[in-house]
Amino acid sequence: MSLSDISSNPLLTFPDAEKSPLSIRAKALVFIDPRSRQLREEMELLAPLDLPVLIRGESGTGKELLARHIHRGSDRAGLFVSVNCGAISSTYADAELFGYAAGAHSGSASSRAGWFGSATGGTLYLDEIADLPMAIQIKLLAALENHEVTRVGATQPSQVDVRLVAATSIDLRLAVAAGKFHERLYRYLNEGRLDLPALREQPGNILPLAEYFLGIYSQRFDFEMPLISEDAQRVLEAHYWPGNTRELENVIHFALLVSSGAEILPEHLNLPVR
């Protein structure tokens, strides 16, 4: 398969200018495998609706790319705001998400809208939403249902218009059953649900993605683009890919750097050969 063959197939990427330095670690998705084509159809049906969306998928599968595509397919003119819930300080979670009024903190002479306020009119993407403390989950649901937030230190609520797209790598039903995730928030999110399969469950996408990454890195380093040998293709297709698309990108990146001929060979991939 050549890069020109791939370009005629559905491919989802975003230019570097649209990438936050703190986000988008899996940089491309293709929709060639039948299972992924079905996913794309479901995603394009959900995108123009005003429903919240819950994306379930393993780490490295490209959940944020999917969320950005949903935002692009909506009629929302506001920003796409990406937040890693695991990185939110439990002490300042209220202020980070909902903002604060001037003087709410020592040294804070001005107010701040917070992630929620920044996303008004647009889409708020919460990665690994199960990492939010339960108290914040309750406030998040209230903000979504009432379309208003009260900033830390403020006396009056502020109106917001946010579409929530959340992602998780765990089964939230189990977290609800364990008392670690708010049941009503789970039901709210589950109105629109997308299951993003692991790369090993979409074998038809492995080689197209590998060649896409090979083309990208060859161009970046100004190298002649090698071919992926048939033996190397078999190794790629047989690998379990626990790190999914992100792992595949890294494997191809480093294979290009250590190969010296016109082909990528199995030994360049540094993967176990079955």
Q: Give the model confidence (pLDDT) of 6-48 as tens digits.
A: 334 456 665 543 444 333 345 678 889 999 999 999 999 999 9
- What is the sign, positive or negative, of the torsion defined by CA atoms of 133, 135, 141, 144? negative
41: Cβ contacts below 8 Å, ≥ 6 apart? none
Q: Is 14 helix (H, G, I), strand (E, B) or coil?
A: coil
Yes or no: say if 99 and 152 are a contact pair by the CB < 8 Å rule.
yes
State the pLDDT at residue 198.
96
Rg (CA), the chain: 21
List, for residues 94-135, the tens digit of each pLDDT value: 888 888 776 555 555 455 778 888 999 999 999 999 999 999
Q: Tell me which H or E stretch contains 182.
A: none
Residues 242, 50: Cα–Cα separation, whole Å: 33
Q: What residue ranges in 79-205 does DSSP mark as E strands?
A: 80-84, 123-127, 148-149, 158-159, 163-168, 193-195
**Across 164-171, average pLDDT:** 96
Residues 161, 136: Cα–Cα separation, whole Å: 18
Domains 3-10+200-269 and 33-197 share a fold: no
DSSP β-bridge partners for residue 193: 54
Looking at per-residue confidence, does 23 or 204 come out higher? 204
> 261: closest CA among 224, 236, 220?
224
**Across 46-52, average pLDDT:** 94
- 3-10+200-269: which CATH architecture? Orthogonal Bundle (1.10)
Query: At 157, is the pLDDT very low, low, confident or very high (cuts 50, 70, 90)?
Result: confident
pTM of the model: 0.85
State the pLDDT at residue 103.
52
Exposure string over 58-93, b if 16+ CB within 10 A, otherwise e: bebbbbbbbbbbbbeebebebebbbbebeebeeeeb
Q: What residue ranges in 57-122 does DSSP mark as E strands?
A: 80-84
Token pair of 136 as six digits: 């914040």
Q: What residue spans define the domains of the chain?
A: 3-10+200-269, 33-197
Residue 109 neighbours by CB distance under 10 Å: 7
Residue 152 neighbours by CB distance under 10 Å: 20
Yes or no: say if 259 and 226 are a contact pair by the CB < 8 Å rule.
yes
- 33-197: which CATH architecture? 3-Layer(aba) Sandwich (3.40)
